[in-house]
Structure 1
Amino acid sequence: MLDHLVYATPDLGRTVDDLAERGITLSPGGPHPGLGTRNHLAALGENAFLEVIGPDPEQPEPATRRPFGIDELTAPRLVTWAIQVPDLDAALDRARAAGHEPGDVVPMSRRRPDSVLLTWRLAFPPDDRGGLVPFVIGWGDTPHPSHTAATGTRLVSLRGEHPDPASLVPVFAALDTELAVTEAAEPALVAEFATASGKVVLK
């Protein structure tokens, strides 16, 4: 099932302010130590959330490039999405057996503003087809971020665009997930949200 959407930006503070003006209220998530990033979150209902992630000015420059292509961005972009599974290792084994390489497991952690430590494990696919193939995440016993994220935003729809939609069908099947994808010149994710201020579309 959908875990979260990743909206990456080269300027986190400016993007958080812009989204707030458009009706999406976000709460501070926390820094990702060593990666040079931090995030803000909005709960979307049904244990899902929107993650807005960008450079953390309070961290030194990371030894490697920031995730989600943040260092190359010139404007905010909906870069990818994640699906949540109860047993990460079993889900990855099933995907490989079905012909999809979901990537290797990476352990992650961050502290919430109230000092609660969150830990999780995820796997990024080597080829995410322009962000349309989700990465897989397992939260284990850690509190899910959606439970403490800012409320007031609801996900209405999520869809994709890709030059070859048919090529994605077996990948989604291997991951036991679905995404409506229409043909377009460039890959893109498109999400529509309902807020108290009206509709917001991020791409």
Structure 2
Amino acid sequence: MTTLDHLVYATPDLDATVAELEASLGVRAATGGRHPGLGTRNHLIGLGGRSYLEIIGPDPGQETPAGPRPFGIDELAGAALVSWAVAVEDIDAAVARARARGHDPGDPRDMSRRTPAGDLLSWRLTPPPQAGRGLVPFLIDWGATRHPAESGLPPIALLSLTIAHPDPAAVAGRLAAVGVPLDDGGPRLVQAPRPHLSAVLSGRHGDVTLA
């Protein structure tokens, strides 16, 4: 069984989006760190347990990367909930299981970043989507690294996560392949004219929807 690791809220203007979320949610996202070579940096908000919201955008302190920034950031006109990740303890085994069930998450790769305090975080993940909406989550394995959600992030409550698609059955099999439960507290899968993700968070003035 996989569990929610984090939601990815991508934006072309990280500082502006962090300020907007602070106004609506009532908490200031903690500084995460830079992703060397990718041209991005992030801020984080805890969602309870070992789950968090990642707000990610361009890092003006880095040179323009050789390739496109992840999650289609270079093409975004505004902030959007673009993807999500589920945590696994043995990513190679999880990828093998998914492939045996008809879904290929991609080959895991190593990544790392420094925290503001200078600590090195290292993890392995399958390739996130470069553009579009990542309805099926990518996989992440933190290994022996201390999980970001355990570093005292400002907390809010995640009330729901919804996956929408014109043909939900086409997505359900891929979700099952990576071990995502669609009941018993898992995300909701619904039919909609266009594919998209949406999450409802508990904010200062009421519920806040990220889509």
TM-score (norm 1): 0.95
Partner of 1:134: 137
- Asked whether the 8 Å contact 1:25–1:153 carries over to 2, the reply is no
- In structure 1, C-alpha distance between the alignment counterparts of 2:130 and 2:60, rounded to whole Å: 29
Asked if 1:46 corresponds to 2:54, the answer is no
**Is 164-173 or 135-144 further displaced after alignment?**
164-173
**Is 65-74 or 119-128 further displaced after alignment?**
119-128
Structure 1 segment 53-72 matched on structure 2, within 5 A: 53-72=56-75
Partner of 1:145: 148
- Asked whether the 8 Å contact 2:12–2:76 carries over to 1, the reply is yes
Structure 1 55/186 Cα, relative in aligned 2: closer, same or farther at 3 Å? Answer: same
- In structure 1, C-alpha distance between the alignment counterparts of 2:24 and 2:130, rounded to whole Å: 32
Structure 1 14/190 Cα, relative in aligned 2: closer, same or farther at 3 Å? Answer: same
Structure 1 164/175 Cα, relative in aligned 2: closer, same or farther at 3 Å? Answer: same
Structure 1 segment 97-176 matched on structure 2, within 5 A: 97-124=100-127, 130-176=133-179
- Asked whether the 8 Å contact 2:158–2:200 carries over to 1, the reply is yes
Partner of 2:193: 185
- In structure 2, C-alpha distance between the alignment counterparts of 1:46 and 1:114, rounded to whole Å: 22
Q: Classify the secondary structure of the residue corresponding to 2:134.
A: coil
- In structure 1, C-alpha distance between the alignment counterparts of 2:114 and 2:70, rounded to whole Å: 18
Structure 1 segment 91-102 matched on structure 2, within 5 A: 91-102=94-105
| 1:197 shift after superposition | 3.7
Instruction: Name the aligned partner's letter for residue 156 of structure 2.
Output: T
| 1:168 shift after superposition | 1.1
% identical equivalent positions: 51
- Asked whether the 8 Å contact 1:128–1:134 carries over to 2, the reply is no
- Asked whether the 8 Å contact 1:41–1:149 carries over to 2, the reply is no
Alignment root-mean-square deviation, CA: 1.6
Instruction: Name the aligned partner's letter for residue 22 of structure 1.
Output: S
- In structure 1, C-alpha distance between the alignment counterparts of 2:131 and 2:93, rounded to whole Å: 20
Structure 1 31/129 Cα, relative in aligned 2: closer, same or farther at 3 Å? Answer: closer
| 1:152 shift after superposition | 2.9
Q: Classify the secondary structure of the residue corresponding to 1:60.
A: coil
- In structure 1, C-alpha distance between the alignment counterparts of 2:95 and 2:7, rounded to whole Å: 20
Deviation per residue, 1:70-101 (Å, 9 max, x gap) = 00000000000000001111100100111111
Instruction: Name the aligned partner's letter for residue 105 of structure 2.
Output: P
Listed as ranges, the gaps of 5+ residues in structure 2 are 182-186
Partner of 2:4: 2
Q: Classify the secondary structure of the residue corresponding to 1:42.
A: strand
Instruction: Name the aligned partner's letter for residue 164 of structure 1.
Output: D
> Number of residue pairs matched?
203
